[in-house]
Each structure stands twice: as structure tokens, then as C-alpha cells.
Amino acid sequence: MLLAGRAARPIRKIPKLGWFVADPLVARQIYNDSAHFSIVSEGAAGHWWAQVVGEWVEDLFEGPGHTELRTRVRDLFAAKHTDDLVHRVIGDALQQLTVDLDAGRTVDIAERARVLVGRSVSDLVGMTPADIAAVFELADHGDDPDEPFRILFDHVEELVNLAMGTMASTTLDPVAVARARTLAGKLAISVPAAYERADANTTLGRCRELGLPLQHASGLAILMAVAGTDTLASAMTRMVALLHDSGEQHALLAAPERLPDAVREALRVTSPAYLVGRSVTADVEVAGRQLRAGEHVKILTWSITNAVGDFRVHRDYVAQTRQLWFGGGRHLCLGAQLVHSELTGLLDALTAAGRPFEVVERRYRRKVFIPTYETLRIRLAG
């Protein structure tokens, strides 16, 4: 369907669904035009969230609270902080990956990615492994310290999956609202304690210093867990599969200085947030078409970014698409730098031995909103 989406270039109306955008310049025009497009009205993500965590979230998405919060947490999402975080929180696990591969062991990248992402996003929010264990009523430091993060992933994924079927409308039916609130409420169980003691260098700690009410801090913690878990795990696992399937891992091993290009290409080709919604709040002309207030717009990110071509480690930065996989304008992904730090860490670990890997077994994860692998077992070749 996303391949067919290219036919929407630059913008096309589909009855009952609204406008589909398959052009990078038009997409950016919409992202940058907050006078005519909204993220909180029916048809966009903020509208979905308001039903789950409360209407106050509209200020967090689009009101003065949005600008203030982004300004006050900016340094937590900068490269220096996210590189340190990756080193501190998942450095040992990445090193273990290198050791396991080098020893000839088979490693399930999909399973490891789910744990790596859970650990890093929790830390960014200000939740300790003990907080996560408490959410799922598990003993901290039990036999398997990764187990709380595996459960966390499934839990967050179930919440994300509730967004399936929102193509025509983001208004959830009462059963979905109830389930989403239960899942979100459970995620927030440890937030009050974490909010009290979280370091100022975490999102919750920063919220406390900002004087943001606990309820709002909880909502933000849930939102970040949802925004940054499935998307990043999908990018990690699919990046590894892409390097294998395209044969481009050989190009990377021969030119390790292209590693940042491999990361960028992986994000372009996977584009895990493959479709982004906006609602039209005032009549406006876009690419010669008249959009009316109340209509919906879907930006076909994956279709746009993949029109550039196949995954190539030697492809330079593409100015036209820029970083569209992270959106654009005032809502440009806050976690972009964490994503880069983490994908870089994973690729470093994967290529450390200087030898190519082979895929031993793969299975797709079924019925999920963000496509990914259930299993991707790899080992170093020969």
C-alpha cells in the first residue's frame, strides 16, 4: 500500500480518507504551517492521545507548554547526552553482543533490540530497572534482569497497536479507549516515586524542576515510552536485516567511515513512522489543491523516503528528503539523536570483528502497527 502511495505525488484526495501527500517539499510545507494544520484535532496523533491521557495533553502538543517543554529538555536529547546514555546504560550489553558474535554464538537481534530500547528509553525518562520491574510486579534483579524490559516492550506494543485502524478517524471506540487507559495507567504506576527522586538530567527530573504537575509528567513519560520503543527497535532490527539482504554489509566493512551513512540510510529505508497525520484547521491551498478545514492529511513518509532508491552505504545525504523519517517543523522527533547514538552503537558492535554475518533464522512479528521482526538470529560467517 505504501508503494502504491507514490501515486499520490504530490498530493491526492481519496474519498472518505482525506488527502495523501507523497512529495517531500509538500510534506515539509505542511509540517511548517501550524496556522493551517494541527496535530491535536481529529485525524492526528494528539487527538488520539487526548482520549487516552486527557485533554490537557493538547497544551503539551500544541500550546505554549509544547514550546516551553521542548526548550527546557533540549539538552537531554542532544548528542553528548545520548552518546553518554548509550555508553552508560547499554554499553555492556553492546559489548556482550560483540563477544557473543566473535565467539561464534548465534544472537537474536530482534530480542536484544527490544531489551536495549526498553533500557535506554526508561533511563531517558528517569525510570530505573527497579521501577520497571515494579510496574510488572517482578522482583528487581531476579534471575533474568532483562525480563522486565521484554514485558515492557509487549505492553507498549499493545498500546501502539490500538492505533491500527485509525486511517479514517482517530476517534477511538469505547472499548479501545478503556484498554488504552488501562495500559497507559499501568505504565505510569512507578512515575510518582520516580518523579520525586529522578535526577535532573532525566525527563521526569526536568518536569519536576519545571513545576509540571505529576499528572502531566506521567502523561509525558507514557508518551515518550510509546514514541521511542517500537520505532527504535524496528529500525535497529531492520537495519541489520537490510545490511544483510542488500549485501551492503560488505561495503560497510570495506569502508567503516561510512557508518553514519549506513545509519542514515537504514532510517530512510525503514522509516518506521511510515505515515503521519495532520488535520486541516483552516482552508488552505497546497500544491494547487484546495484543502478545507476539517479534512485530514496523511503524509506518506515511507513512500517519500523510499522513492530515493535502495539502501546504499555509499549514498550521500539526500537534501530533498532531509530527515523526513523524523517528521519536520515544530514536532520534529525529539528522540532523533538518541536514535542515532543507539543505531551507531549497535553497528559498531556488529562490525567490531571486521567479518560479515549471516542470517540463520527470521520471523516477522505479526499484526503489529510498526513492522518489525519477532526473531532475527544472526552469526558471523565462516
Q: Which residues bind ligand HEM (CB under 6 A)?
A: 39, 45, 61, 70, 121, 124, 224, 227-228, 231-232, 235, 272-273, 276, 325-327, 331, 333-335, 338-339
As measured in angstroms, the least distance from the Cβ of 117 to ligand HEM is: 7
The residue (of 101 and 346) whose beta carbon lies closer to ligand HEM is 346
Q: Are 79 and 94 in contact (CB under 8 A)?
A: no
Phi-psi region of 362 (alpha: psi -120 to 50; beta: other; left: phi over 0): beta
DSSP state letter for 211: T
SS3 breakdown of the chain: % helix, strand, coil, rounded to 5? 55, 10, 30
The residue (of 87 and 105) whose beta carbon lies closer to ligand HEM is 87
Which amino acid belongs to residue 66? H
As measured in angstroms, the least distance from the Cβ of 159 to ligand HEM is: 15
Distance between CA atoms of 132 and 190, rounded to whole angstroms?
7
Distance between CA atoms of 26 and 31, rounded to whole angstroms?
9
Residue of 382, 374, 378, 372 whose CA lies nearest to 359: 378
* Nearest-10 crossing angle of helices 214-228, 45-53: 130
As measured in angstroms, the least distance from the Cβ of 300 to ligand HEM is: 12
As measured in angstroms, the least distance from the Cβ of 38 to ligand HEM is: 10
- Here the cell at position 360 is 540463520
Residue 298: in which H helix or E strand, if any?
strand 296-299
Please state the separation of Cα 379 from the chain's center in Å. 27
The residue (of 219 and 335) whose beta carbon lies closer to ligand HEM is 335
As measured in angstroms, the least distance from the Cβ of 333 to ligand HEM is: 3
The residue (of 239 and 380) whose beta carbon lies closer to ligand HEM is 239
The residue (of 118 and 272) whose beta carbon lies closer to ligand HEM is 272
The residue (of 22 and 101) whose beta carbon lies closer to ligand HEM is 22
The residue (of 269 and 334) whose beta carbon lies closer to ligand HEM is 334
Please state the separation of Cα 78 from the chain's center in Å. 16
The residue (of 224 and 380) whose beta carbon lies closer to ligand HEM is 224
Half-sphere exposure of 95 (CA within 13 A, CB side): 7
As measured in angstroms, the least distance from the Cβ of 27 to ligand HEM is: 10
As measured in angstroms, the least distance from the Cβ of 268 to ligand HEM is: 10
Which amino acid belongs to residue 350? L
The residue (of 18 and 327) whose beta carbon lies closer to ligand HEM is 327
Block residue for cell numbers 544472537: 107
- Here the cell at position 26 is 509538500
Half-sphere exposure of 353 (CA within 13 A, CB side): 20
As measured in angstroms, the least distance from the Cβ of 271 to ligand HEM is: 6
Strands ordered across the beta sheet of 107-108: 107-108, 373-380, 357-364
Which residue lies nearest ligand HEM, judged by its C-beta? 335
As measured in angstroms, the least distance from the Cβ of 254 to ligand HEM is: 26
